[in-house]
Homo-oligomer: A and B are copies of this chain.
Amino acid sequence: MNMSAKRTSIEERHLSALDDQLAQLWETILSRSSLVRCIQGGDFDARLFAIYMMETYHYTRHNARNQALVGVRHLDLNIRYMKFCFEHAAEESGHELMALHDAISLGLPKDVTVPEPMSETDVLIAYLYWISANGNPLQRLGYSYWAENVYAYVMPLLRTLQSKLKLKDSQLSFFISHARIDEDHAEEVRRMLLQHCKNPEDWTAVAKVMKTSLLLTEQFLNGIYEEFERVRSGQASAYSFLSDHLSA
């Protein structure tokens, strides 16, 4: 076995450890998520999806930005990785508009004011900027790694949601177009990890960010569910206005 084959195989093993950890994390998250149970039980309405898309709008506005920040703040990056950061940022630019479009398509006014982000959304945004600007420059790949592979895990739920809310594919543009784009991205992220992670510290940093950002996303999902519960039970919520536009 030559050196290069051996190296590849070590790195493939790291990647497959990431995959295992990811599968386990998703299992935990899906099994304990009240949002998932709520969707599976069918006990929800368009307001849930509107909240989801509006909060998605918020963090998605920052994704291209924090992705590019990796290239901005770290000097001496490998050039191919640097290029990846900026190209990836270019491709992600404006995706928040799809999320907003999907929310509005439910029956909201075109010039609707999106409420301030929930705390959980702020925290996710804050964390992604932090790990992009500081620490191991490769670690943001840990976020991309699960985010670009999310559809395997969430598509069944989205289809349940789509069918219950009678949504056309064009009303799920954020997810459906991402699912398409992200097939390529996922492959590229994989390649970046295999090419640029050189030592166990790199893989540890990537794994830590993968896990932390996914757990923050779990809290984001919980937050959405709680916000929806507040809206439907008539408690104070920045999303109460949805009830004026969307039938329960």
Partner-B contacts on A (CB < 8 A):
61, 64-66, 68-69, 71-72, 75, 79, 82-83, 86-87, 89-90, 93-94, 97, 119, 122-123, 125-127, 129-131, 208, 211-212, 215-216
A126 touches B119 (CB 8 A): no
A65 touches B72 (CB 8 A): yes
B127 touches A123 (CB 8 A): yes
Complex CA–CA separation, A126 to B61 (angstroms): 18
Complex CA–CA separation, A131 to B82 (angstroms): 22
Complex CA–CA separation, A98 to B127 (angstroms): 27
B86 touches A86 (CB 8 A): yes
What B residues does A119 contact at CB under 8 A? 208, 211-212, 215
Complex CA–CA separation, A69 to B66 (angstroms): 10
Minimum CB distance partner of A132 in chain B: B72
What B residues does A65 contact at CB under 8 A? 71-72, 75
What B residues does A130 contact at CB under 8 A? 122, 125-126, 129-130
Output the least CB separation between A146 and chain B (Å). 14
Given A71-B64, A71-B68, A127-B126 in contact, is the A83-B93 Cβ separation under 8 Å? yes
Complex CA–CA separation, A215 to B118 (angstroms): 13
A127 touches B122 (CB 8 A): yes
B123 touches A94 (CB 8 A): no
B79 touches A94 (CB 8 A): yes
Would you give 14 A-B contacts (Cβ < 8 Å), ordered by A?
A61-B75, A68-B72, A68-B86, A71-B93, A79-B97, A82-B93, A86-B86, A86-B87, A86-B90, A87-B87, A122-B127, A123-B123, A127-B127, A129-B129
Minimum CB distance partner of A125 in chain B: B130
Query: Which of A61, A123, A211, A215 has the most CB atoms of chain B within a 10 A radius of its CB?
Result: A123
What B residues does A89 contact at CB under 8 A? 68, 71, 86, 89
Given A68-B86, A69-B72, A71-B68 in contact, is the A131-B122 Cβ separation under 8 Å? yes
B69 touches A82 (CB 8 A): no
What B residues does A122 contact at CB under 8 A? 127, 130-131, 208, 212
